Structures are given as C-alpha cells and as structure tokens.
A = this chain, B = another copy of it.
Amino acid sequence: MVEFVLDPQLEKDSMWITDLPLCTVRLINDMNYPWLILVPKVANICEVIELSSQEQQVLWSESAMVSQVITHLFTPDKLNLAALGNMVPQLHLHHIARFKDDVSWPKPIWGQFPAKPYVQSELNKRIVLIQEALNKGAKQ
C-alpha cells in the first residue's frame, strides 16, 4: 500500500490545523482571506470521484463541518468551495471565506493577489481559534 504524503507545494503554502478521520485540514498562509484546505489522506488521488463512495461521503461531511466552522467564526458574505488542482494535482478542497470588501471581490481569488503571510503571533492565534472550533465540531 502506498502511503499518503502531502504535496510539498501545499505543505509550503499552508499550516497544519487538525486531522479529521479522512482529511488533514490546513490554513493557507494568506491574510487576505480566511482560507482552509481539506486534503484526503489517501495516496494518489487527484479527483473527488477517484475516492470510494464511502470516502466521498466522509469528505463532504467533513467539508460541511469546515464550512459551518468558517461561517460561525468569520461570518463571510460568501463561501467559495473548489477542487481545481491544475497546478497541484493532489486532491485538495478549498474553503474560502469571501467578503464584499476583500481585495479580490467579486472575482475568484486565484491569480489575483500574491499571498500576504500572517505575522507569526496572528498566525498562531488564528490556528488555535480554528483548531478549537473544528475539534469541538468534530465531537458533535
């Protein structure tokens, strides 16, 4: 059995938040938007439909939980949900809180503005905030 290894580009762009039964959850290091990715810990998967039906169900239930947490913590004007993967094929599901006054609104965020890394203290605070909310959500 081939072991799951996180894509190096995703690892570089994001910080570990927590592990759910199927996915590892990471925060993209970009202050422009609260932006989480879910990466199923299954080797060699590029498309949602390459997961088994059961794994797909878990993926979408974890995605819904992450969406609820983002909505609760940040009250965005819109959630953006996407699995693109043209640059990094390893399946990763974007969950982005969008605001009518964010830098890219109303455009999709990709290719608009370079990432604006968090200062370390803000990054730590945000990670803990999301971690606690997700761990609470996962227990419900």
- A contact set with B: CB distance below 8 Å: 46-49, 53, 56-57, 60, 63-64, 67-68, 71, 78-87, 89, 98, 105-108, 110-111
Contact = CB atoms under 8 A, between A and B. Distances in A.
A46 B82 CA distance: 15
Contacts of A110: 107-108
Contacts of A56: 60, 64
B82 A81 contact: yes
Chain A interface main SS type: mixed
B80 A84 contact: yes
Given A108-B110, A110-B107, A67 B80 contact: no
A83 B111 CA distance: 18
Contacts of A71: 47, 49
A76 to B, nearest CB: 10
